[in-house]
Structure 1
């Protein structure tokens, strides 16, 4: 059943190929309704989409004006009357589909024709067509799809559908022809040409917009960070990798109201030499600060079920390697971005632990504090410029590293 409110359709009847508008079943005030473009006696159809467009633009008295979505539909661009590829129903030709095997295409085609033919019969009071659909229960299973006919009894039932159609379809089609009136319009050639141009332009614009949207989605998909779809990102808890003094450790961190929270307790960061060891640990422990996060259970459950992998985003990898050696060489040798990120994780750890060890160290070493302010681009460096020797700066940096390492449970 189509979920679109009002659908332009092309029908192949005995009287020829025609175009009309179909409103599949909708519910209003607790009652189900369905309709076609029509008057009080017939369903109205047209030889061309141009005539269909001009008719609905110049006639306000027809059965669809009472549809709750008619106003919205009628305000759309001119190509609103052009059926899509799936909106062509070859009613006359359905026996051909039934003559073949119960393939996806044949069953889908037959199902679509049965659906719209039954709707035409119901709305247009086509008696023979209505009797046909109500008296052959074997027709209903067509809507279940090709899989319904894949079993041992499938071919036999598909043949039964074909036999019912062969024996009755001519009367069905004649009945539908009587219910559908092809409107013979008197629109001038100029108006037909104008409608054709408007439909063509609107179709071209819609296709261009579709392609642009598709290209944009493709570009966004290519640029999308896979990490954003991970459970870590969803839960808002990130694996963190710290590479320092020749070793690497793993832990977890989040931010709560802008404040860092690590996997740890009482100022001790629970750190692990491998990601697998961290996973095994969190499966069995929940006595830590992250456990109070509402999403922690998602992480714990996924880890216990073997569905969680540790993926460390590049933004959460902090390398201290070589910083102290570069400090010895002079300011130009230091990767200030690397230093800034390293200082970030040290500051986060200190903030979470709630102690003053980091601040106390910097207050006790004002020249090194000036050095850091200069290197990290702080605005309050007070005109300070680093000068040789740099040994004391390198040593002070190593002491900062030691302060961080002492917070790790294992190193």
Structure 2
């Protein structure tokens, strides 16, 4: 999981665009957190309601009509859910240019109907996946916990303010968005896209209504709704802006450790970090939504065979792994691990009759028969390329660039692969008396210690040999990609 960071985002709804900040999920003290720039407020009763009653403490996300207004708020305000975030001291010093979202962090909620009305293409699928993902995250962070002291006979409907959001993101067609355009090709794919459109038609207005109660368009009382230009005016103004050649101005912002705010837009904790330490790339290249991964994990954990993702210089793909008498066993044969470009391709293989080393596992029949896609969880993703890049940077003199704990998850993956494929050189490089093995042992006892520039050159050579050896054990299967 990535280190704590904060990114600017923009939401377009009801013909206006609001700017705010999002802290993507990170881990701290074994708990996961994420949050938006927001707070908990006491909303007044709606006098237009048939039975007006004050809703009580409500989590809201503060929105602003421009990055400049957002920056002005961040400079002076600490009464919000991000005030104790590890990188907030950095954010509070930034100007409008640094708080302007990139295109990947602009979410047009008004445009969802138009997207599903068109034939699917890669851009439409990616846009819908991102929009529905951020909607799910907003709902998760703004959800009010159920009070244990509430009456037992309280209606179940009162337990969540986001029933329509929950229903929509639980649809299998929404989960399939994370798989990309391949999920919507062919006759089955066309049907899935049509069902997705139907789900949006049925639920989207209710989704927006649920969100609207938690979106504060006054910027915590610093602006008015009249300050917002229309979406068309906003787009015209952006088109008139000169292009910025600085590609990294609005990347994730990282700094010093602290515990996240306890306000109710902070939904579960994350790892703190040290100023200047490089952000390790997080999240799967397969881009499945968190809801889809969580739903899939229930099945795969039950059968005791887990999807894993491996990233090496030759490519990225998914395979399956289980443990037999505490020894790793992968989907493969004779020490060769079969790796597939997508979960769909992997599922097709599993449904076939080709021989491999998992067929004798007692639960394999369930795997071969399931329609649950093999979506890897974050903890089962092993990016060997990212660590190579970071080690090289440290070896070139950038001491303190990465914390030792960044090595632990990739090393876990290569040890399993080396055990299955019988790669003795990998195990030798990670032995307790080898330079890399000593660093990994230190990472287990002092995970937040930075890697020094002095010890990195030896690690670069050792890690490269490991990556090369692992590459010899992977067989990238493209025969079932379609």
TMscore range, shorter length? 0.3 to 0.5
Q: TM-score, normalization: structure 1?
A: 0.44
Higher relative contact order (CA 8 A, sep 6+): 2
- Return the index of the structure with the highest Cα Rg: 1
**Richer in helix (by share):** 1
